[in-house]
Structure 1
Amino acid sequence: MPKISAPTIAAHRAQTRERILDAVAALTRVQGIDEISMTEVAAEAGITRTALYNYFPDKPALLLAFTERVTSGFVERYRRELAGDASAADRLDAFIRFQLDGLAEHPHPAAGELGASLGPDAYQALADHVAPMHALLDEILRAGVAAGEFAPVPVEPVARLILAMVGAQRVPLQRGETTPHEAHRLVAGFTLRALRQGDTAAPPLT
C-alpha cells in the first residue's frame, strides 16, 4: 500500500481516486475499456484490488466515474481552446475534432454494447454523465441556425446523426484504418456541407 503523502486522509483518498482514474486512462490507450479488469486497474494504480473496491464497488461504478471525468475534460477543453466569438461552423468543427481525438485516445465500445455490459441503471447514469456534451452540441446547432449559418434543421435529430457519424469512426480508428485527422476531415466536411446546403423546408426546431 502506498504511503500517505497528502496532508489529510481526505486528500489522500482524493489523490488515490485520481490515480485510479489515471490508470483506467492509461489502460484504455492499449485496450478497449470493456476489456479492462479491476485487477489490471489496481495493478496499474499501484494499489491492491481490495483497496480499489474501497473506492469503486464494481466495474460499472468505475467506468461511470471515468466517463464523467472524460466528459468534464471534453467540455473544459472546448470552452478553453475555442474563442468566445467563434462562428457556429468553427465551433462544430472543433466539437467533432475533439470527439474523434477522444475516441482515438480512449477506445470504448458503442453505446449499445456498453449499456449491455453495464446494465440499465448504470447505463442511465452514463447517459446522465454525458448529457452536458450533448447539450453543448445542441447549443452549437441552435446558434448556427439562429445566425443563418446553418439551414433550419431539427436540432435534436441532427445532433444524434452527427454523434452517430462520429461513433462510426470508432472501429476504423481502433483498427488503424484511419487517423483522427482523416476521420475529422470526413465527418466535419460532410456535416458542414450538409448543414450549409440543407433543405430550407426542413421541419422546425424541436
Structure 2
Amino acid sequence: MPKISAPTIAAHRAQTRERILEAVAELTRTEGIDDISMTEVAARAGITRTALYNYFPDKAALLLAFADEATAGFMERYRAELHGVPEPTDRLSAFVRLQLEAIAEHPHPPAAELGASLGPDAYQRLADHVEPMQRLLEEVLRHGTEEGAFTAQPVAATARLVLAMIGAQRVPILRGEASVEEAHALVTSFTLRALGAAAPHADRTNGANETNGASGDRP
C-alpha cells in the first residue's frame, strides 16, 4: 500500500490527482497530448500504472480532466490579467495572446483529431470545452460594441471566426514557422480591422512613445 503523506485519504487522493494532471501538462510540452501513454503519465507522476487507473479509467477520461483544468486555468488567468483594464481593444488583444500562449505551452492536435482517436463521445466532451472560451470572447466583443470601440457584428458568429483564426495558428506555431508574438499581431490586427477598431491602446501608446523618443530635439 502506498505511503500516505497527506493528513487524510481524501487529501492524499487530491494531491495524487494533482500530480497526475501536472504530469500530463509536462508531457504535453514535449510530446503532444495524442502521443502520451498512460504508462508515461504514471511514471512521471511517481505512481504505478494500476494506481493511475484508480483515478482515471482510460486515456479519454484523463484528457478530459486535463482539458477541464486547462480551461479553468485559462479563465482564471484571463480574469486576473484583465481586471481593471478599461480598453476593449486591450481586452481582445489579451484574449488572443493567452489563447496562443496556451497552444505553444501545451501542443496538441485539434479536438477533431483527438476525437477521431478517442471516439465520438470524448470528442463531443472535448468540444464542449470551447464553449466557456467562446462565451468569454462574446462578452469581450459585446462590451466593446456597447462602448463604441467595435462596429456592431453578430457576436456569436464573430467569436467563432476569431477562435478559428486562433486555431489556424496552431500548426505554424508548433512547426516554428511563426512565433506567438507574430501570430498574435496577425490575428489581433486582422480582427480589429474587421471590427472597425484601432490598434490596442497599449500598442498605440508604445508607438507614440517611440515616435517621441526618435524625434530628438525637434519641437
Note whether the superposition's TM-score is higher than 0.5.
yes
- Residues of 1 paired with 2:110 and 2:123: CA distance? 12
Letter of the structure 2 residue corresponding to residue 160 of structure 1: R
Give the CA deviation at 1:110.
Answer: 1.4
Gaps of 5+ in 2: 198-219
Partner of 2:93: 93
> What residue number does 1:64 align with?
64
Q: Which residue of 2 aligns with 1:44?
A: 44
Are 2:160 and 1:150 equivalent residues in the alignment? no
CA deviations on 1:7-26 (whole Å, 9 max, x unpaired) are: 00000000000000000000
The residue type paired with residue 166 of structure 1 is I
Q: Is the CA contact 1:68–1:130 (under 8 Å) kept in the aligned structure 2?
A: no
SS in 1 for 2:17: helix
Question: d(CA) in 2 for partners of 1:105 and 1:2?
Answer: 32
Q: Which amino acid aligns with 1:45?
A: A
Q: What secondary structure does 2:195 align onto?
A: helix
TM-score (norm 1): 0.91
Q: What is the alpha-carbon distance in structure 1 between the residues aligned to residue 13 and residue 40 of structure 2?
A: 20
CA contact (8 A) 1:107 1:174 kept: yes
Counterpart CA distance in 2 for 1:118 and 1:191 is 33
Secondary structure of the equivalent of 1:196?
coil
Q: Percent identity?
A: 71
Bigger shift: residues 78-87 or 146-155: 78-87
- Partners of 2:68 and 2:49 lie apart in 1 by 22
Q: For 2:3, what is the secondary structure of its paired residue?
A: coil
SS in 1 for 2:47: coil
Distance 1:117 1:86 in 2: 43
In structure 1, the gaps of 5 or more residues are 198-206
Q: CA deviation at 1:2?
A: 5.3
- Corresponding residue of 1:140: 140
TM-score (norm. length: structure 2): 0.86
2:166 is matched with: 166
Name 2:196's counterpart in structure 1.
196
Report the 3-state secondary structure (helix = DSSP H, G, I; strand = E; otherwise coil) of the residue aligned with 1:4: coil
Letter in 2 for 1:113: E
Q: Residue by residue, what CA displacement relative to the aligned partner does 1:44-84 show, whole Å, maximum 9, x if unpaired?
A: 11111111000000011000000010110000001111133
Q: Which amino acid aligns with 1:126?
A: L
| Residue of structure 1 equivalent to 2:23 | 23
* Matching residue's letter, 1:142: R
Query: Which deviates further from its counterpart, 174-183 or 114-123?
Result: 114-123
Q: Distance in 2 between matches of 1:85 and 1:29?
A: 31
The alpha carbon displacement at 1:121 in A equals 1.5
Farther-moved stretch of structure 1 (109-118 vs 69-78): 109-118
Measured in 2, the distance between the counterparts of 1:102 and 1:2 equals 34
Alignment length (residue pairs): 197
Q: What is the deviation of 1:118?
A: 2.3
Greater shift, 176-185 or 62-71, is seen at 176-185
Structure with higher Rg: it is 2
The Cα offsets for residues 16-46 of structure 1, whole Å up to 9 and x where unpaired, read as 0000000000000001111111111111111
SS of the residue aligned with 1:135?
Answer: helix
- 1:111 deviation in Å? 2.2
Mapped pair 1:11 → 2:1: no
CA positional deviation for 1:133? 1.4
- Per-residue deviation at 1:85? 4.3
Shift of 1:123: 1.9
Give the conservation status (yes or no) of the 8 Å contact 1:5–1:12.
yes
